Amino acid sequence: MWSSTCQKCSWPDPDDLLEAGYSDASGNFQLKGSTVETTNIDVVLKVYHDCDDGIKPGSRKIKFKIPNSYVTEGQNPKKVFDIGTLNLETVFASEERELIVNKKRRNILFNWENELIDDIIF
């Protein structure tokens, strides 16, 4: 889950990772994230997967904006957003492809056109 505090910011970083996780063997998952911000946030669920993808490099990436009515103040959510069941064989109109390269303690993210998206040092 990511938050975006503005659309065209270069600093501070407009996207903060709120939570990361994996689905279980049945495809179920739960995420709960929090952050401290001075402005409202737009929460986005990013799903990276290789379903029905063959041996293509990188992962398929789909983004889902979480409705604002599910974003609440404080550590404990007041409502739970159920995204339902998704067939990830489906090609979504806004789908992207991302190459994720791990080198030492650094993640370098590229999009399908091999343009640098993000450089994160852990």
What pLDDT digit, counting tens, does each position of 33-60 carry? 877 777 778 888 899 888 888 888 888 9
Number of other residues whose CB lies within 10 A of the CB of residue 27:
9
- Quote the tokens at residue 106: 């650094």
- Domain spans, the chain: 2-96
Q: Is the pTM of this model over 0.85?
A: no
Q: What DSSP character marks residue 11?
A: S
Residue 67's pLDDT is: 92
**CA 47 to mean position of chain CA atoms:** 6
As beta bridge partners, residue 111 has 98
Q: What is the mean pLDDT of residues 92-117?
A: 61
Helix (H) or strand (E) holding 108: strand 106-111
Q: Is 78 left (phi over 0), alpha (psi -120 to 50) or beta?
A: alpha
- Quote the tokens at residue 78: 């007041």
**CA 99 to mean position of chain CA atoms:** 14
